[in-house]
């Protein structure tokens, strides 16, 4: 059995959940390492800034570190430090890390992105003297690198000069994270400068936003520690961490005046895909068990699909492979697959452009009595006429938009055209909800 790598964060707690310990643990989980934590401070913080800081007693922080490092069953493969508010805290943490010989990433947290100091003025010298020479790599952003080096930084060349100066203070390797360099921003890039005796540049497309990015620095240093724990060499680990944070910013959530990075989008998407497929599978089972449903299946067959929450294409929509058809032996349905039905996928995507809540759709045969039952059941109904469809239009895109001009319906029908079977489409928030509507229709018809 391959042992999961263990990574320790020594940092402060962010009550808003966007940075600090919370961001570190989410980053560790996303990258498949076991995360552990030593909490150094509690902050009262939200999207407007840091409102209060309470440093955990130094003795308690030392006790947390002692407990973790004394346990022979727990071997810390790598660590990272974040918010260390006072000189006394820095000295204590440095002594513990030196005794245990744990390699670590030093994130010299000095100020919250939304505003507010996260280190005492007197503590900067202690960080430079006691902690910086012990680290494997230090990851300041541009403002932090200016304070550490005493140099002004606005260009990539100035960042390189600062990296050399910080390296001369005793740090074996320096990564000055991008996003603040004027020349690189003008070129549409966010470039990190790495120096460990030789320079390397790591770039990613600049994410343009007018919001303050919250949690990016913490997530980068946590990701770097995780990648180093997994055995990657420094430059490859830094490049992987850069890509990780870029994706976390792209998938970030807008909260008031800040953009909170989202490190878990891939895991959330995987979970959503699983849940979506299971919902369609359950819905199909309900249809098979519904006596009389076979009378609603059109000649071309029926299908039911459901989109993941952030569906962007047909590949994000689960449906029945080969449709649902009526046979002499009963109803037959294929497997549930993503991308199985272009038709139902286009139908769902077209409706989501009108009403994002509607993630599922199903087609049933058209009959005046079915439309009448839908009316009696209080369903919101609309229609479109195929003969008015523009030549260059896609039927589902145009038809759904045409039927949704005055209001967003949950049932849309058309009476067909030459070579086109008339059809009713039923929409809902989930596939199960759509089937529940179909079952009400079947019950009313019988």
Q: Distance of CA 4 to CAs 226, 268, 281, 432, Å?
A: 11, 21, 34, 38
Enter the pTM of the model.
Answer: 0.85
Pairing of strands 423-428, 411-414: antiparallel
* Best CA proximity match to 324, nearest among 355, 300, 345, 349: 300
Residue 126: pLDDT over 80: yes
Residue 27: pLDDT over 90: yes
* pLDDT above 90 coverage of the chain, percent: 84
The residue extents of the domains of the chain are: 6-262, 268-445
- At 144, which helix (H) or strand (E)? helix 142-149
Beta bridge partners of residue 8, listed in sequence order: 36, 79
Residue 1 confidence class, pLDDT cut points 50, 70, 90: low
pLDDT, average across residues 99-111: 94
Residue 187 confidence class, pLDDT cut points 50, 70, 90: confident
Q: Distance of CA 92 to CAs 60, 270, 425, Å?
A: 11, 41, 67
Residue 419 confidence class, pLDDT cut points 50, 70, 90: confident
Residue ranges of alpha helices (H) inside 101-141 are 123-126
d(CA 216, CA 352): 31
Residue 270: pLDDT over 60: yes
Residue 59: pLDDT over 80: yes
CATH class (in words) of the domain with range 268-445 = alpha beta
Residue 409 confidence class, pLDDT cut points 50, 70, 90: very high
* pLDDT above 70 coverage of the chain, percent: 98
Write down the pLDDT at residue 113.
56
Residue 122: pLDDT over 80: no
Total residues found in the chain within this entry? 446
Residue 321: pLDDT over 90: yes
Q: Would you say the C-alpha torsion 42, 106, 112, 30 has a positive or negative sign?
A: negative
pLDDT, average across residues 309-330: 94
**Domain 6-262: which CATH number of 1.10.490.10, 3.20.20.70, 3.40.1190.20, 3.40.50.300:** 3.40.1190.20
d(CA 386, CA 78): 64
Residue 118 confidence class, pLDDT cut points 50, 70, 90: low
pLDDT, average across residues 123-143: 95
Which of these ranges, 168-182, 347-361, 401-415, has the smallest mean pLDDT? 168-182
Residue 116: pLDDT over 60: no
């Amino acid at each position: 059995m391959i042992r999961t790598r263990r990574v320790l964060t020594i940092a402060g707690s962010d009550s808003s959940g966007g940075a600090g310990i919370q961001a570190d643990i989410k980053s560790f989980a996303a990258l498949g390492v076991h995360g552990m934590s030593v909490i150094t401070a509690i902050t009262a913080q939200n999207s407007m800034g840091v409102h209060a800081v309470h440093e955990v007693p130094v003795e308690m922080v030392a006790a947390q570190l002692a407990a973790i490092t004394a346990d022979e069953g727990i071997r810390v493969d790598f660590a990272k430090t974040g918010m260390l508010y006072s000189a006394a805290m820095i000295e204590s943490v440095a002594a513990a890390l030196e005794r245990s010989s744990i390699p670590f990433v030093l994130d010299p947290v000095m100020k919250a992105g939304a505003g507010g100091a996260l280190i005492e003025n007197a503590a900067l010298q202690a960080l430079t003297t006691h902690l910086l020479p012990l680290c494997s790599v230090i990851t300041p952003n541009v403002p932090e690198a200016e304070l550490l080096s005493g140099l002004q930084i606005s260009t990539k060349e100035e960042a390189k000069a600062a990296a050399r100066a910080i390296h001369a203070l005793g740090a074996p390797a320096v990564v000055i994270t991008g996003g603040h360099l004027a020349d690189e921003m003008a070129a549409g890039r966010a470039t990190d400068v790495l120096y460990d005796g030789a320079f390397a540049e790591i770039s990613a497309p600049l994410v343009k936003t007018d919001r303050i990015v919250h949690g990016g620095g913490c997530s980068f240093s946590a990701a770097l520690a995780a990648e180093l724990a997994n055995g990657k060499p420094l430059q490859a680990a830094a490049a992987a961490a850069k890509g990780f944070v870029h994706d976390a910013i792209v998938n970030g959530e807008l909260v008031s005046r800040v953009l909170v990075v989202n490190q878990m989008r891939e895991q959330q998407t995987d979970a959503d895909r699983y849940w979506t497929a299971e919902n369609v599978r359950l819905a199909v089972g309900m249809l098979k068990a519904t006596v009389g449903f076979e009378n609603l299946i059109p000649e071309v067959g029926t299908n039911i699909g459901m989109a993941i929450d952030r569906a962007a294409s047909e590949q994000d929509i689960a449906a029945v492979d080969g449709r649902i058809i009526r046979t002499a032996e009963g109803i037959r349905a294929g497997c549930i697959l993503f991308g199985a039905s272009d038709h139902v996928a286009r139908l769902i995507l077209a409706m989501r452009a009108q009403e994002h809540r509607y993630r599922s759709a199903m087609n049933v045969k058209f009959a005046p009595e079915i439309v009448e039952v839908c009316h009696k059941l209080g369903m919101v109904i609309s229609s479109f006429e195929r003969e008015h469809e523009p030549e260059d239009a896609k039927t589902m895109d145009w038809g759904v938009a045409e039927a949704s001009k005055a209001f967003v319906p949950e049932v849309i029908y058309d009476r067909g055209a030459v070579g086109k079977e008339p059809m009713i489409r039923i929409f809902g928030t989930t596939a199960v909800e759509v089937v529940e509507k179909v079952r009400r229709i079947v019950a009313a018809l019988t």
